[in-house]
Amino acid sequence: MTVDTAVVTTDLDRLAERVERAATLVQELRARQGQLETRIAQLEAVKAELAGRLEDNQTKLQGNDPTALVADVAALRKEQREWQAERRDVAGRVESLLKKLERIEA
C-alpha cells in the first residue's frame, strides 16, 4: 500500500464516519419532527375546543349588559338579606308564641 492509498483510505474512513453521524442525526431529527407534529396536532385540537367554548360563552352573553347583570346581582343580594331578616323575625314570633302556649299549658 502506498502513501497515497493510505491517505485516501483514511480520508474515506473519516468521510464514512461523518456520513454515519449525519445519517444518525437525520434520523433523530425526523423522530423529533414527528413528535413535534403530533404535539402541534394536539395543541390545534385544544385550540379548536377553546375557540368553540369561547364562541358558546359569547353567544350566551350576547345581549347581556354587564352593568345590568351586576345591578341584578346586587338587587338579588338585597332581596336575600330582606328575606333572611323576615325569616329571623318570623322565627322570633313563633318562639314567642310557643313560650306563651307553654305558659298557658302549665
Residue-wise pLDDT for 92-106, tens only, equals: 999 999 898 888 887
pLDDT tens digit sequence for 11-68: 888 999 999 999 999 999 999 999 999 999 999 999 999 999 999 988 887 877 888 8
End-to-end CA distance of the chain: 131
Alpha carbons within 13 angstroms on the beta-carbon side of residue 82 total 6
The domains of the chain are located at 1-62, 65-106
